[in-house]
Every structure is written in C-alpha cells, then in structure tokens.
Amino acid sequence: MRIIVAGCGKVGWTITEELSREGHDIAVIDIRPKVIEAITNSFDVLGVVGNAASFNVQKEAGIDRADLLIAVTDADEENMLTCLIAKKAAGCRTVARVRNPVYTEEIGFIKEELGLSMIINPELAAAGEIASLLRFPSAIDIDSFARGRLSLLKFVIPEGSPLDRCAVKDIRKSIKADVLICTDERNGEVVIPDGHFVLQAKDKASIVATPDNARAFFDHIGLEQHRIRSCIIIGGGTIAYYLMRALRGTGIHVTVIEQDEARCRYLSEQYPQADIICGDGTNERLLQEEGIAAADSFVALTGIDETNIFLTLYAKNASKAKSVVKVGHVGYRDILETMDLGSIVDPKSLTAERIISFVRAMQNSIGSNVETLYRLIEGKVEALEFAIQEGSPVVGPQLSELRTKKGVLVAAINRGGNGKILIPNGQSTIQVGDRVVVVTTHSGFRDIKDILE
C-alpha cells in the first residue's frame, strides 16, 4: 500500500518503522529538514520537508496515489486539517492523532464530519491499558479482545505454584479453570507451548480467558487478587487526566503529584474528588507523607523515562504497591525486561499496533479481516483477532484437522462475534461470523488463511 505519514516525532517514527518493515510504500512529511534526513537514512522511505496541511506538499509526497494518510504531528488541528485536505484532494482513507481532551468529547462528530477513517489518541490508549492493569493487579500485561469480554494476561509463575513443573495439557484438569496458556518466556526464550510443555516457577506465561475465569485461575495458582483502593500518580499530564477519568467511579482513591501550579488547579477543577498535590514527585519525604508505604498502586507518568524508572524502583522498595511505569524510548525495552518494574506502558507502541491493525484490515481478502492486533514480548509474538467471513478455508474442519504453521495457536473463539467465548480444543470448529483469536510467532498475518501451511 502507498501510505503517507505526516509528522515524524516519536509516534510518527515508530509507525514509519513498523509499516516500512511490513513492506509498504511509505512517504513521510515533516517541517524539520534534519528529522527528514534522519528518517530517510534509517528506512527506505520518501521524505518531504514542509507543512503537511499544504496541498502542494501533499502532492509532492504523492497524495494522488496514496491509499492512506496518517497525520500524527504535535498539533491536533493540523492533523485534522491535513486529513481533510487529503480526503478532498485524493479521496484516500485518513487517520488523525487527536489528543486534546476537549476534542475527545466530540470524537464521533469530528470523525463523521471530516470523513476520518480512524482517530488515534496515544494517551487515551495508554490510560485505558493502565486502568485495566489496576483492575487486574496480578497481571503485568493485559490485552483485550471481543470488546473486553476476553483477555490475554501475562503474569509471573510464583514459587510453590501448582503450575510449577505442570504440563500445559494437565492445567485444566488440575486447576479446573477454563484458560489456555498461549506463550511462555524463560531465560530470554519465547515459545508457544504445546500440551507437553512443562511450566516452571519464575516463567513469564500468558493466558487467554474471560475476566471471571482469569480471576478464578489466579486464585488457584496462588496469585493474590486483592482489590486496589488507592493509587498514587506522579505527573499530571494528559495520560494522568484520562486515567483519572477511567478510574472515576471505581472506588479507587487517586492522589496526583504534579509540579506545575496551573496544571494542578486545572486537575483539581476537573476531578474534585481526587487529591492533587503540587510538589516534586521525586522528593522522598513528599512520597512518604502522601502514603507511598500503604498505597495499593503506583503509576509513574512524568515526561522523562529515567525519572519514571527511578521512581518505580523506589516504589517497589518502599511498598507492596502494584506499579506501572510509562516509557517512551523503545530502546529501553530490552533492559527494562530484566528489571522488576511491574507493568510497562508505551503509548507509541500502542498507537503503532492500532494503526498496523487498521492497515492490515484494509488489505483483507475474502476469508477474514483483522479486527485487533497486539505485539507481544518485544514484538516476538503477535496476537490477532480475525472476523471470519464466507469463503474462509478454516470454516468447517475441526482444529485438529487444520494444517497450521508451526508457532501458531488458535487461542479463543467468540461464537458469532457477540456470543459465547470458547477456549478451543482439537475438536472445536470455526464458523462464519466468529471472531477468532490467534497467537503466533510469525509476523505479518493479514488473513486467517495465513495460519495454514
């Protein structure tokens, strides 16, 4: 596909890297010549220096031949205008990053009136993921399918757990929970385990299950499922704003520590039920005064990765709080995985996943369509949700009869798209109208038929 990416900041760079890796014909636009030079030297893409909201600049980038334009500059208004011009000029599909909470309240109207195919809000996506993690404290990573009725949860197998030295095929019998082990990480190696794979304590494993079955599973394996009632947030930026909105009404008391006085006043007006503290979140005495030792959860959301990492390490040492740390530097991921930081949230990666999912959905063939896409374990694994349509070669035969590629697992079936959630076995079948979750070590699947040899 011919894709134009307008804006080459952190999000635009990540999107360009991912989409160029998938073999798309990419052109990038940015007003900064040095940024264009850097990105064109790093990837096989066309670079254009200029204002993306200019028709002439878009024309130079090839808008007349574009299938999709993605606008992710720092300004919401510029992104919306860029998409409007592209839509009027070429009729191509458009995606805009819109971050301001004021526009978020009007997102449906904006999308319809401007003819946008998709609106991306990295901060809102990050806040949603953090809220899910706080509702499920035993998990270090959560991805949702079937509109939240099915979850993929990563956790560390504790010492003394019934899972230690347990074969995957014996889990349902010994623990009596309707879950499926999808991935296992051990000593840097990642596998999609078969039934004979034996789990070990300290492995990082992922399960797919409904929320209720996941809770029952964690109870059986000895992971405490205490409810989070308090949360300390360091940094009162946009993610914090959206997170406070997501936690409103959940019974979780929120304390935000933010240095900027004007921002503190604004948050206090928007969320009078929360405690907004104007101060330095890196001050140990202040953290102690605000109850870090007794907090149930701790979320580091400053704009500096190193500060977030340091604060999270301090919180892990000073309390038993569920910790979540925001990072924006992709290069840190490998290092962070070796540290006991709890859950790591990367807004750029979340944005890239959603856009790649959308791009693959545009390329669907007759048999299915990509509904949801998640990159797991530093991109080593993908979890995809496919909508099954007429003509798909996977419809009919039992799963045991399908010749699937190695490194592919059919993890769940949402019967009829909005029906019963099935954790499949060899006798299960796929039907037209189902939503099927596939976990794989392969990359680039665009259709359910890609799972077949």
DSSP state string for 254-267: EEEEES-HHHHHHH
Which of 348, 135, 363 has the alpha carbon at shortest distance from 239?
Answer: 348
| Same domain membership, residue 332 and residue 248 | yes
Has residue 324 been placed in a domain? yes
Which CATH number characterizes residue 274's domain?
3.40.50.720
| Same domain membership, residue 132 and residue 95 | no
What CA–CA distance (Å, rounded) separates 34 from 30? 9
Cα 8 → chain centroid: 20
Radius of gyration of the chain (CA): 23
Has residue 265 been placed in a domain? yes
139: three-class secondary structure by DSSP: coil
| Same domain membership, residue 236 and residue 214 | no
Letter string b/e over residues 33-46, b meaning 16 or more CB atoms within 10 A of that residue's CB: eebbeebbeebebe
What CA–CA distance (Å, rounded) separates 23 from 317? 45
Has residue 425 been placed in a domain? yes
* Both tokens assigned to 94: 């458009």
Choose one of 316, 345, 374: the last residue of a domain. Answer: 345
Choose one of 99, 120, 141: the last residue of a domain. Answer: 120
Which of 89, 52, 59, 93 has the alpha carbon at shortest distance from 74?
Answer: 52
CB count within 10 Å of CB 7 equals 26
| Same domain membership, residue 101 and residue 6 | yes
Q: Which residues pair with 368 in a beta bridge?
A: 388
| Same domain membership, residue 99 and residue 13 | yes
Please say whether the beta carbons of 383 and 182 come within 8 A. yes
* Both tokens assigned to 137: 């404290």
| Same domain membership, residue 390 and residue 297 | no
* Strand pairing class (322-326; 343-345): parallel
Burial, 106: exposed, middle or buried (Cβ in 10 Å; 0-12, 13-18, 19+)?
A: exposed
What is the DSSP secondary structure assignment for residue 430, as one 8-state letter?
B
What CA–CA distance (Å, rounded) separates 187 from 194? 18
Has residue 351 been placed in a domain? no
DSSP string, 324-378: EEE---GGGHHHHTTS---EEE-HHHHHHHHHHHHHHHHT--SSEEEEEEEEETT
Which of 426, 423, 338, 427 has the alpha carbon at shortest distance from 146?
Answer: 423
| Same domain membership, residue 76 and residue 26 | yes
Which CATH number characterizes residue 403's domain?
3.30.70.1450
Q: Which residue has the tokens 């750029």?
A: 348
| Same domain membership, residue 23 and residue 115 | yes
| Same domain membership, residue 138 and residue 78 | no
What CA–CA distance (Å, rounded) separates 200 from 316? 24
Has residue 350 been placed in a domain? no
Identify the pLDDT of residue 275.
96
Q: What is the domain extent for residue 447? A: 356-451
| Same domain membership, residue 362 and residue 340 | no
Per-residue pLDDT for the chain (453 aa), expressed as one digit of tens each?
A: 899 999 999 889 989 998 998 889 999 999 999 999 999 999 999 999 999 999 999 999 999 999 999 999 999 999 999 999 999 988 999 999 998 888 888 888 998 888 999 999 999 999 999 998 998 888 888 888 887 888 899 999 988 888 999 899 888 777 777 889 999 999 888 999 988 999 999 999 999 999 888 888 888 887 766 789 999 999 999 999 999 999 998 899 999 999 999 999 999 999 999 999 999 999 999 999 999 999 999 999 999 999 999 999 999 999 999 999 999 876 666 677 667 788 889 888 888 888 888 887 787 655 557 888 887 887 789 899 998 988 899 998 999 999 999 999 999 999 887 778 999 988 999 999 999 999 999 988 888 999 998
Choose one of 191, 221, 251: the last residue of a domain. Answer: 221
| Same domain membership, residue 262 and residue 172 | no
pTM equals 0.84
Identify the pLDDT of residue 228.
92
| Same domain membership, residue 190 and residue 237 | no
- The count of structural domains within the chain is 4
